[in-house]
Amino acid sequence: MPKITYIEHNGSEHVLDVKNGLSVMEGAVKNNIPGIDADCGGACACATCHVYVDAAWADKVGAKSAMEESMLDFAENVEATSRLSCQIKVTDALDGLIVRMPESQH
């Protein structure tokens, strides 16, 4: 299983094994990681699973859909590496992925 590192705004790190096929958001929610609320349950209908993808991984997580871009308009402090974690599917290629939560989600 791929290992994903979730880093809270305060610097607390959580390294998890996440099953292939789940989203990065589902991995966080199933393990009670603070900072990823996922109010819409992964339907790309809110921005409460906003994360910053580590720059080294930005090209590996795939492109944002138009719907995701639209939802990110509702997120605070959006950056170039901002993504909705519900839209990143876990595969073996993402083993070692690092995501950070914004300060607004603590």
12-25 pLDDT tens trace: 999 999 999 999 99
**Amino acid, res. 18:** V
- At residue 95, the pLDDT reads 98
The rounded distance, in Å, linking the Cα atoms of 73 and 54 is 20
Structure-token pair, residue 73: 């308009």
SS3 category, 20: coil
Average pLDDT over residues 3-10: 97
User: Cα–Cα distances in Å, from 20 out to 1, 15, 63, 106?
Assistant: 7, 15, 18, 26
Domain 3-100, CATH among 3.40.1110.10, 3.40.50.12780, 3.10.20.30, 3.30.460.80:
3.10.20.30
29-59 pLDDT tens trace: 999 999 999 999 999 999 999 999 999 999 9
DSSP 45: -
Average pLDDT over residues 50-72: 95
- At residue 105, the pLDDT reads 76
82-106 pLDDT tens trace: 999 999 999 999 999 999 999 887 6
